[in-house]
């Protein structure tokens, strides 16, 4: 089972099913459709809290350049598509997702968007 860390601010949305995707840094063994996954709330200095267990239904490569260009696989996303992506992973705006990625991982970013 692969672990999916979820920030505490998104925990309720994962538990109630309104958030069903996450953007994660690329791992040595990337997520694949069919992987069993466990979402857990991450709290600094505290034990992880399991939010949900499920199956990965989609796993796509995502990259973000320093200028904010977002690519999923070989496709560059339009501003509207980037906005929809940001909303699907819990952010109000595209710029909020970019800021979070930069603060959390740094830009440029290479990762995956997974859905369950």
pLDDT in tens, 39-51: 999 776 667 889 9
Q: Are strands 58-64 and 36-42 parallel, antiparallel or unpaired?
A: unpaired
Stretch 42-67: mean pLDDT: 89
Q: How far apart are CA 14 and CA 21, in angstroms?
A: 9
Asked whether 89 and 19 are in contact (CB, 8 A), the reply is: yes
- Decide: 35 and 27 in contact? Cβ < 8 Å: no
- What is the number of alpha carbons within 13 Å of residue 11 lying toward its C-beta? 12
Give the C-alpha separation, 39 to 53, whole Å.
6
Task: Tell me how long the chain is.
Answer: 116
pTM of the model: 0.87
The count of structural domains within the chain is 1
CATH of the domain at 60: 2.30.130
């Amino acid at each position: 089972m692969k672990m999916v860390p979820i920030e505490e601010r998104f925990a309720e949305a994962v538990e109630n099913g309104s958030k069903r995707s996450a953007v994660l840094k690329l791992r040595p063994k990337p997520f694949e459709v069919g992987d069993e996954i466990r979402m857990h709330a991450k709290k600094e200095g505290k034990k992880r809290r399991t939010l949900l267990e499920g199956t990965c239904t989609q796993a796509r490569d995502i990259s973000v350049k320093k200028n904010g260009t977002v690519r999923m696989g070989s496709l560059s996303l339009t501003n509207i598509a980037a906005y929809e992506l940001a909303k699907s992973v819990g952010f109000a705006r595209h710029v909020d997702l970019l800021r979070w990625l930069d603060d959390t991982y740094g830009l440029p970013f290479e990762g995956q968007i997974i859905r369950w």
